[in-house]
Structure 1
């Protein structure tokens, strides 16, 4: 019987769908696969434009129940909320009310198929929104105002934190804070401690968000590097810090084992 590789599944919207792309010479999915090569397969189930309600509706088929011959999901990385937080306007259709968003995240991580795999779940908070840039770009597309705001997006990220805290064993990856910290470090003069955050209209400055979020929403390669550094310590801890010649976790043996010197 064929031996399937255990999987890391990336479940989310365009932020994970686009993580396979090379932005600024960096691909989050490729970096993660390199880290796990011959031990785990990284499977991308990022679905551009989807919200949590869409995922809940189709989760039964997106993440099949495990069988004796199917791959086991060892890690599940969930990043959703950027589309849920789109404002409810005549020209938008993705909005999910914040309490329903919280319920949907809980439904996803507690779904019977997910629990049957018994994966380590990494729940990622949506990154900040650069409302300064989003306002300009959305209005150029014909919207009367921004379809995402800094404050509303931040409130959805806080709900993701709540879900992680209330579900035992779920690892919270605070991408919102990590991206913001990086943006501040890139332009420290644009932010005063305790003052309005970068990207908000109250602050009026973008700082490093201008580079990290090229369209105010989606991430650059530098932002994906931030995500990778947040995720990496939680993946493959049994072999993450081993010497290069230690092949613990390889599904198939190293060539030196199969072809020893006489």
Structure 2
């Protein structure tokens, strides 16, 4: 049916949830939806404060609701690890995180969904701590870039084991800042390295530039690994306006859907 659009599902924590917040400027979801307009609907299932254990519990229900006989989830991102890596009640042991990511990938692949995994990226301790001092955030900072790197590497490992692509934002952000040779990544903060403020809005969540880097690499990965799902290769629903036969509107408008 021409109005039952298949889907591009974004699944993760608050960094996914905020990927649709236009008040921040450029965001991931609007960028993806623009690319896939009239081709796939982009569904945001981001859950602020959740970790991969929560994600593992809710994903079957998300897929049951979204991947149906009428409309299929064709492609999805699985993006967890930022909350897992912190030393708070949100923390998930790295081995458990590995198991959670593996299980979620398998759930999606079982439904023939094209999966792209994203892991945790850089953290700005200085920016986050300043917000904590101001009472803007509730919990003291327990995140470390070195720990995020470990979780990123685990996500990459699980992706490879399942034969799905991985977007290494941790490394991509390092490359953006020119920090690849930095010896102590835990000292990478906006006080001493102000360029990181171009990537992170509060030490954790992404600035427009961070989402731009992600979107650019997301499209590269889709083009390489899932070319049939690259936006340029998916036909639009309904015929182009200048091809409509005004003497036979209904048949001409829906002609492509009947092919």
TM-score by length of 1: 0.82
**Aligned match for 1:258, one of 241, 244, 247:** 244
The Cα RMSD (Å) is: 2.8
Could you say which residue in structure 2 is the equivalent of 1:162? Answer: 157
Alignment map for 1:85-164 (pairs within 5 Å): 85-88=85-88, 93-111=89-107, 114-138=108-132, 140-141=134-135, 146-164=141-159
Give the equivalent residue in structure 2 for 1:47: 47
Match of 1:188 in 2: none
**How many Å separate the matches in 2 of 1:222 and 1:140?**
25
Secondary structure at the aligned position of 1:132 is classed as helix
Once the 2 structures are TM-superposed, how far is the Cα of residue 135 of structure 1 from its aligned partner?
Answer: 3.5
Alignment-derived partner of residue 68 in structure 1: 69
**Alpha carbons of 1:23 and 1:156: their partners in 2 closer, same or farther (altered >3 Å)?**
farther
Q: Which structure carries more helix by proportion?
A: 2
Structure 2 segments unaligned to the other structure (5+ residues):
249-259
Contact 1:125–1:173 at 8 Å: present in 2 too? yes
Q: Tell me which residue corresponds to 2:214.
A: 227
Deviation string 1:39-69 (CA, Å, 9 cap, x unpaired) is 1111000111110111111222111174422
Question: Structure 2 vs 1, CA of residues 202 and 220 (structure 1 numbering), >3 Å: closer, same or farther?
Answer: closer
Counterparts in 2 of 1:119 and 1:159: CA distance versus 1, 3 Å: same
TM-score after normalising by structure 2: 0.82
Q: Which runs of 4+ in 1 moved over 4 A?
A: 139-145, 238-242
The answer on whether the counterparts of 1:33 and 1:42 sit within 8 Å (CA) in structure 2 is yes
Distance 1:210 1:64 in 2: 39
TM superposition shift of 1:140: 4.9
CA distance in 2, matches of 1:180, 1:63: 34
Q: How many residues in Structure 1 have an aligned counterpart in Structure 2?
A: 242
Change (3 A) 1:83 1:192: closer
Question: Is contact 2:109-2:115 (8 Å) kept?
Answer: no
Distance in 2 (CA, whole Å) between partners of 1:206 and 1:14 is: 25
Q: C-alpha distance in 2, partners of 1:144/1:67?
A: 40
The residue number in structure 2 matching 1:6 is 6
